[in-house]
Structure formats: structure tokens, C-alpha cells
Amino acid sequence: MSEIAARRLVRHGYTNLWNLEGGMVAWRQRGYPPMTAPAK
């Protein structure tokens, strides 16, 4: 799903994109914390 979104964003001119193979499940299995938005 994120790969499809990344392709669409590239078509709209975005260049700084990352697509994590395995998604958030793989990210968390590797011990990385989820990213959060900065507090306002």
C-alpha cells in the first residue's frame, strides 16, 4: 500500500520519499520506535 502512495507522490513532484519494506510491522520488529509529531 505505501509503495502505491509513494509512486503517486513521485508523480506529483515529491522527491524525498522512503518506502520501508515490510512497513511498520518490520520497523517495530527491528526495535525502532514509531515516529511522532512534535508537540505544539
User: CB-based contacts of 18: which residues, under 8 Å, 6+ apart?
Assistant: 6
| Distance (Å, whole) CA 6 – CA 27 | 17
CB within 8 A of 29, min separation 6: which ones? 22
Judge contact between 17 and 10, C-beta under 8 A. yes
C-alpha cell of residue 27: 520497523
pLDDT value of residue 30: 92
pTM over 0.95? The answer is no
What residues does each domain of the chain span? 1-33
Residue-wise pLDDT for 1-40, tens only, equals 778 888 999 999 999 988 778 888 888 899 998 878 777 7
